[in-house]
Structure 1
Amino acid sequence: MNSAESLHRFYSGFAGKYDLFMPWDQRIRRERRFFKYVLDANNVSSVLDCFCGTGFHVDMLSDMGYDVEGIDISPDMVGKAKENLKTKGYDSRVQQGDVKALENKKKYDCVLSMGNSLPHEFGDDNILRALKGMYGALNEGGTCVIHMENFDRLYEDREPFIPSMHRRDGRGTDTFIFAIEYYEKKVVFNILSVIERGGLPEFAVDTVEYYPLKTGRLRELLAEAGFQDIRSYEDFKMSPQGKEGTYDIIMVAKKQ
């Protein structure tokens, strides 16, 4: 099975659980101020989320007053996004698409790759094609925001587990446990989920592979794609990379 088939298989089974371990209210509290600062400081009015997933950023940024559209290569994630966004009338703003094959007919002030999405692309060639697609979709002076795992730190620590999630509310209990396998050219996340509703737990293990893209190499590929003024942070408070050594990397770059 190739990486594209593996990715589609993973999200066909995980799309319905994705929002359970990444609740939107928590993400809004964590990310809203960051985006308000970055987008307004760069005079952004239009945004393309190039890996829109279940529609979180389309929803949040639309609510904040920006003109937002989203694409995702997974039909299952796009379907879930449309379902999530339908009540607000935003469902028509998301479509299935591959950032590597953007026709660049429409330009945006900002492009996004959030939630460790870019490392779904395997190999430097595919990463570069994706970055060039993002670059081509930008207006002159546009802004690119990329968020992903800090693979330098992950490979330095080689922790077999990363912080898991457990939540209990009126609907039931959600538990996710992440077990990681490290290889030279890929990192494998095994996600054990226990979803309990009405006293009946459902157990599942979903597996997804990522390309372990290091921070320095991402910076080089961004520059090769044409981006300039590349800045990196380790959290949504815009702390400089390396201050605390978190497992997050956020890069903000410009199309000059």
Structure 2
Amino acid sequence: MCQNDDTIVPRDLYKEQYSPEFAGRWDELIDWQRRADAENNFFQGILKEHGAETVLDIACGTGFHVVTLTADGFDVTGADGAPNMLAQAKENAQRFGMDDLRLVEAEWTRLNEAFSGERFDAVICLGNAFTHLFEESDRVRTLNQVYRLLNEDGIAIIDQRNYDAILDNGFHSKHQSYYLGETVHVSPEEMTEEILTMRYEYADGDVHFLSLCPIRQDYVTDLLKDTGFSSVERYGDFAAGYDFYEPDFVIQVAKK
């Protein structure tokens, strides 16, 4: 597992991989309505449980959670390091009549510069985005930035693919929780302990790739605790008390 600083991919590779063409088709993979149905207000419930009102989404992508959480009354700011995804988020926000939605291009390791003097009740990093970081020092630095951006008793929510299941048992996906589009076939192109490159093939033959770091659940939990978070709760495909290898995605909720 890529836990050290022996960089095997360029730090900004994700920006290149999220090309204008891929960003423009990302929502075919997500399927906003089916995604909302699958989540069943899970994140809204977590945020309300912790009394969160202000939310910073540091991996807003094409804007699904920024738009849906804003529609549900949260004060949300969206950020992303991939300009093409951010451009798509702006288009989606306008489509939902949210022209004034705050969307910021920001690198994770420099969040305190992008949001100088600001604090939030919750910082979220969803869509398996945290695994774009291949260097442990970048993961540590990012979590420290997140921690400092939180109000007292604030929460960080981070999710990831269940890489434990993928690395130990091979890739499979129920396609019941996250990537719900029916016109995209998702499969691993390259899979080692150090890198997982996913292939996204659309029905018309268009193909795109994303390179990800297959970090394990317990490792992320330990990172969060080492950052200073007082407690960490885990969910598998939105359910507590899950079987370790069963869910496609694991969500970790860390309280400051």
The one-letter amino acid paired with 2:242 is Q
Map 1:168-187 to 2 at 5 A: 174-187=183-196
Map 1:113-128 to 2 at 5 A: 113-128=125-140
The percent identity for this pair of structures is 29
Aligned mates of 1:179, 1:102 — CA distance in 2: 31
Partner of 1:39: 47
Q: Does structure 1 residue 11 correspond to structure 2 residue 12?
A: no
- Alpha-carbon deviations, 1:171-212, whole Å to 9, x = none? xxx333423421121111111122xxxxxxx42221111111
Q: In structure 1, the residue corresponding to 2:43 is in which secondary structure? A: helix
Residues 188 and 196 of structure 2 are in contact (CA less than 8 Å); yes or no, is this contact kept in structure 1? no
Among candidates 122, 132, 141, match of residue 129 of structure 1? 141
The one-letter amino acid paired with 1:29 is D
Q: In structure 2, the residue corresponding to 1:43 is in which secondary structure? A: coil
Among candidates 102, 119, 129, match of residue 111 of structure 2? 102
TM-aligned CA deviation for residue 3 of structure 1: 2.8
Q: Does structure 1 residue 212 correspond to structure 2 residue 224?
A: no
Normalising by structure 1, we get a TM-score of 0.87
The one-letter amino acid paired with 2:243 is G
Map 1:146-225 to 2 at 5 A: 146-159=158-171, 162=173, 167=182, 174-194=183-203, 202-225=204-227
Aligned mates of 2:41, 2:98 — CA distance in 1: 24
Q: Relative to total residues, which structure has the larger strand share, 1 or 2?
A: 1
TM-aligned CA deviation for residue 243 of structure 1: 6.3
- Alpha-carbon deviations, 1:106-155, whole Å to 9, x = none? 10000101010000011221111111111111101101111110111111
Q: In structure 1, the residue corresponding to 2:24 is in which secondary structure? A: coil
TM-aligned CA deviation for residue 93 of structure 1: 1.1
The number of residues matched between the two structures is 240
Question: Structure 1 177/187 Cα, relative in aligned 2: closer, same or farther at 3 Å?
Answer: closer
Q: Does structure 1 residue 53 correspond to structure 2 residue 54?
A: no
Q: Does structure 1 residue 29 correspond to structure 2 residue 37?
A: yes
Q: In structure 1, the residue corresponding to 2:199 is in which secondary structure? A: strand
Partner of 2:240: 239
TM-aligned CA deviation for residue 244 of structure 1: 6.8
Q: Which sections of structure 2, spanning at least 5 residues, go unmatched?
A: 1-7
- Alpha-carbon deviations, 1:212-251, whole Å to 9, x = none? 1111110111111111210111022x32232671121010
The answer to which of 108-117 and 8-17 deviates more is: 8-17
Aligned mates of 1:44, 1:203 — CA distance in 2: 43
What's the Cα RMSD here?
A: 1.9
Question: Structure 1 9/16 Cα, relative in aligned 2: closer, same or farther at 3 Å?
Answer: same
Larger radius of gyration: 1
Partner of 1:170: none
Q: Does structure 1 residue 138 correspond to structure 2 residue 150?
A: yes
Q: Which sections of structure 1, spanning at least 5 residues, go unmatched?
A: 168-173, 195-201
Aligned mates of 2:82, 2:188 — CA distance in 1: 23
Residues 163 and 178 of structure 1 are in contact (CA less than 8 Å); yes or no, is this contact kept in structure 2? no
Residues 82 and 91 of structure 1 are in contact (CA less than 8 Å); yes or no, is this contact kept in structure 2? no
Q: In structure 2, the residue corresponding to 1:20 is in which secondary structure? A: helix
Aligned mates of 1:223, 1:48 — CA distance in 2: 20
Partner of 1:74: 82
Q: In structure 1, the residue corresponding to 2:142 is in which secondary structure? A: helix
